[in-house]
Chains A and B, each alone.
Chain A
Amino acid sequence: GAVVSQHPSRVICKSGTSVKIECRSLDFQATTMFWYRQFPKQSLMLMATSNEGSKATYEQGVEKDKFLINHASLTLSTLTVTSAHPEDSSFYICSARDASLAGGETQYFGPGTRLTVL
């Protein structure tokens, strides 16, 4: 149980284009989803928290107009990197939790999406 998928697993795009990353909870309803980015040899940095049906809460320093988050259903959240630049190249990871599950305070992570902006 508690499986989270991400799509695509890897994407390469040109500078200036937009990229959408999907995060799905496959066997539970995710009341809350989180988006992280991770640079090589570094830890996960939380970008934003989204609750189904409401606006995402962004961490300090994260541009909400650049990183658009939509949590339209209890099983799907999307992160769109708009007008991507090479400095946006990173490993993006989502996580999800369902407070109704026993141990629902824990987060279950997707496999990550590696974004490379040329």
Chain B
Amino acid sequence: QKEVEQDPGPLSVPEGAIVSLNCTYSNSAFQYFMWYRQYSRKGPELLMYTYSSGNKEDGRFTAQVDKSSKYISLFIRDSQPSDSATYLCAMSDLQGGKLIFGQGTELSVKP
């Protein structure tokens, strides 16, 4: 069993839809949770960073962490075609420690 599980998709939604992306994990020691966006043939770009449980909002993006369920989510409101990319969740048990990545979910937002 992988430490971090993420549905690879692809996920296709119409413009303006609310997108929900999720990851589950098995290591209860994970405390730091991140979401990265990666466009084709580019490096990952940090979108959201969360420590421990709770919600964090930044513009159209909301990250949620439920440590009791070992489940994290990223919501994208009013999705745009420019949001089309692969979204990677990542997590770590130590501050500044090794990141464990999910497989990435490929998202396509259709105009």
Chain A interface (Cβ < 8 Å from any Cβ of B): 4, 6, 32, 34, 41-44, 46, 49, 91, 93, 95, 97, 99, 103-112, 114
B60 located at the interface, meaning its Cβ lies under 8 Å from any Cβ of chain A in the complex: no
Query: Could you say which of A42, A49, A111 contacts B43, with CB atoms under 8 Å apart?
Result: A111
Residues in B with CB closer than 8 Å to A95 are 43
A32 CB to nearest chain B CB (Å): 7
Q: Which residues of A contact B49 (CB under 8 A)?
A: 103, 106
The reply to whether B96 and A104 contact each other, CB–CB distance below 8 Å, is yes
Quote the shortest CB–CB distance from B54 to chain A (angstroms).
Answer: 16
Complex CA distance for A24 and B109, rounded to whole angstroms: 33
Which of B61-69, B70-78, B98-106 touches A?
A: B98-106
**Which of B43, B44, B104 has the most chain A CB within a 10 Å cutoff?**
B43
Contact of B95 with A by CB under 8 A: yes
Chain A residue, CB-CB nearest to B8:
A41
Q: Nearest residue in A to B102 (C-beta to C-beta)?
A: A43
Contacts of A106 in B (CB 8 A): 34, 46, 49
Q: Are A43 and B43 within 8 A (Cβ)? A: no
Whether, in the assembled complex, B7 has its beta carbon less than 8 Å from a beta carbon of chain A, the answer is no
B57 within 8 A of A: no
- 3 closest A-B pairs (Cβ-Cβ)? A109-B43, A105-B95, A43-B101
A115: min CB distance to chain B, Å: 13
7 contacts between A and B (CB under 8 A): A42-B103, A42-B104, A44-B88, A95-B43, A103-B49, A105-B32, A105-B92
Residues of B near A111 (CB, < 8 A) are: 42-43
* A43–B42 touching, CB < 8 Å: no
Partner of A112, one of B42, B88, B103, B104: B42
